[in-house]
Amino acid sequence: MFVNDIESLEIDEKCLKILRALAKIYKAEKFVKISSAHVSGVSYDNIGEEGLEWLKSIKGKVRVYTTLNPAGMDCERWREMGLKEDFYRKQFEILKVFENLGVEMTLTCTPYYVNAPKFGEHLAWAESSAVVYANSLIGARTNRESGISALASAIAGVTPYYGLHMKENRAPTVLVKAKGDLSIVGYKAGIELPSEIPLFVFDRKVSETELKLLSASIAATGNIAMFHAENVTPEWKDFEIPREKVDIEGKFEKICEPDLIAIGCPHCSREELEKILKLLDGRKVKKELWIFTSRKIFEDAKKTVEELEKLGAKVFRDTCMVVSPATERFKCVMVNSGKALEYLPKKRKVEVAFGSLENCVRSAIE
């Protein structure tokens, strides 16, 4: 399970240097074997020419099952998104490099829907929302990796043993009584408690979708890699209840007249696609409604996808409204995601309106 000397692994020197540097910074005395890795930093819009050249310089193949975050486009429908051919070619070049390294072309921020890790497994995952989900809802162990360090660990098959890989570092530090929209609860918690490990106590039974949105928003606004949730997190009873207590209400209003409604940050599950279809109730959309999901869910829910598109929605794979420059041509984007609420104005320079899933669908058909 543990490796003391990674010099014997015979891997790319750049990857060795990254892992040695991390171990030194965090005073990790050994490395732990991982069952999977998840690599972020995929969109050409994010990594550019320098990132592409660095990727090309990496030699070897990944040693563990490795998944890939969303790209900057739907690989088949990029023209429909309004993207130019030059962007498509550069993005395709990046994906080819990852493919040659042995990375699975999942192109999703929800790798747990593709191949869920098990409780107690050690991972090297980038994509902050997936990190929080894996630690908090599954009980796997991963630190908040960068795309580069996750790739280095994927090639080595190990990661430095520190932080959330160690049981004693996973204890909650503050009790949060939460009510209202959990995406906004996470959005506020990340701002108010940026380096804590919250223990959430909810005022009702909450769904997996709500917890997924909470995972994404709390990671977007804070430096948080896990939380505990009463009766949800596998380890929540293993630690003492924190003495510090705060109340957070998921209530938020941000209004502008949307010319795009975008759902799927993180990527939609099959259940979410079915819920959107039910909310539409056979009514045609009157505004641009973009829904983002993974290739796997797209195929698994093909009939639902077809019904959604008959009603005028566009269901895209491989990308999302945050990592794709396609959303920059809109003035106001309406979302139900605290993560998108945080990143869209910064990355895409657009106004953002926020609402529940029900409100987003209602806005699309009115």
Q: Which pLDDT value is given to residue 255? A: 84
Do 42 and 157 have their domain in common? yes
Strand order in the sheet with 36-39: 65-68, 36-39, 123-125
Per-residue burial over 27-63, b if 16 or more Cβ lie within 10 Å, else e, is ebeebbbbbbbbbbbbbbbbbeeebbeebeebeeebb
Q: Which pLDDT value is given to residue 3? A: 85
**pLDDT, greater one: 337 or 10:** 337
Do 19 and 157 have their domain in common? yes
Do 78 and 153 have their domain in common? yes
Q: Which pLDDT value is given to residue 354? A: 97
Q: Which pLDDT value is given to residue 7? A: 78
**Are residues 358 and 350 in contact, defined by beta-carbon separation less than 8 angstroms?**
no
Residue 255 lies in a domain: no
The pLDDT of residue 253 is above 90: no
Task: State how far Cα 137 lies from the chain centre.
Answer: 14
Among candidate residues 250, 269, 288, the one where a domain is terminated:
250
Q: What is the mean pLDDT of residues 323-337?
A: 97
Q: Which pLDDT value is given to residue 4? A: 82
Q: Which pLDDT value is given to residue 206? A: 98
The pLDDT of residue 10 is above 90: no
Residue 360 lies in a domain: yes
Q: What is the mean pLDDT of residues 268-278?
A: 98
The pLDDT of residue 6 is above 90: no
- Structure tokens given for 198: 């919250």
Do 160 and 14 have their domain in common? yes
Residue 85 lies in a domain: yes
Q: Which pLDDT value is given to residue 254? A: 80
Concatenated DSSP letters of 299-361: HHTHHHHHHHHHTT-EEEES--TTT-GGGGG-SEEEES-HHHHHHIIIII--EEEE--HHHHH
Spatial separation of the C-alpha atoms in residues 304 and 310, rounded to whole Å: 10
The pLDDT of residue 8 is above 90: no
Do 123 and 210 have their domain in common? no
Among candidate residues 150, 167, 184, the one where a domain is terminated:
167
Q: Assign residue 266 a region: left if phi > 0, alpha if psi is -120 to 50, beta otherwise?
A: beta
Do 22 and 159 have their domain in common? yes
- Quote the domain boundaries for residue 225: 171-250
Q: What is the mean pLDDT of residues 246-251?
A: 97
**Domain harbouring 318, CATH code:** 3.30.499.10
Total domains present in the chain: 3
- Structure tokens given for 33: 């074997």
Q: Assign residue 120 a region: left if phi > 0, alpha if psi is -120 to 50, beta otherwise?
A: left
The pLDDT of residue 17 is above 90: yes
**Percent of the chain's residues with pLDDT above 90:** 96
Do 358 and 330 have their domain in common? yes
**Domain harbouring 130, CATH code:** 3.30.499
Residue 116 lies in a domain: yes
Spatial separation of the C-alpha atoms in residues 163 and 293, rounded to whole Å: 31
Q: Which pLDDT value is given to residue 305? A: 98
Concatenated DSSP letters of 22-86: HHHHTT--SEEE-SEEEE----HHHHHHHHHHHHHH--S--SSEEEE---SS-TTTTTTTT--HH
pLDDT, tens only, 109-168: 999 999 999 999 999 999 999 999 999 999 999 999 999 999 999 999 999 999 999 999
Among candidate residues 211, 226, 250, the one where a domain is terminated:
250
Evaluate the CA torsion angle 319, 323, 329, 331 in order and state its sign: positive
Do 150 and 39 have their domain in common? yes
Residue 139 lies in a domain: yes
pLDDT, tens only, 200-248: 999 999 999 999 999 999 999 999 999 999 999 999 999 999 999 999 9
Do 272 and 297 have their domain in common? yes
Write phi, then psi, for 333 (nearest 5 degrees).
-115, 125
Do 218 and 315 have their domain in common? no
Do 162 and 176 have their domain in common? no
155: enclosing H helix or E strand: helix 147-156
Termini Cα distance of the chain: 56
pLDDT-derived band of residue 5, with 50, 70 and 90 as boundaries?
A: confident
Q: Which pLDDT value is given to residue 15? A: 96
Do 218 and 307 have their domain in common? no
Among the residue ranges 6-20, 79-93, 174-188, 352-366, the one predicted with the least confidence is 6-20
Question: Whole-number mean pLDDT of the chain?
Answer: 97
The pLDDT of residue 169 is above 90: yes
Residue 166, Cβ neighbours under 10 Å: how many? 12
Going by the DSSP 8-state scheme, the letter that residue 237 receives in this structure is G
Residue 339 lies in a domain: yes
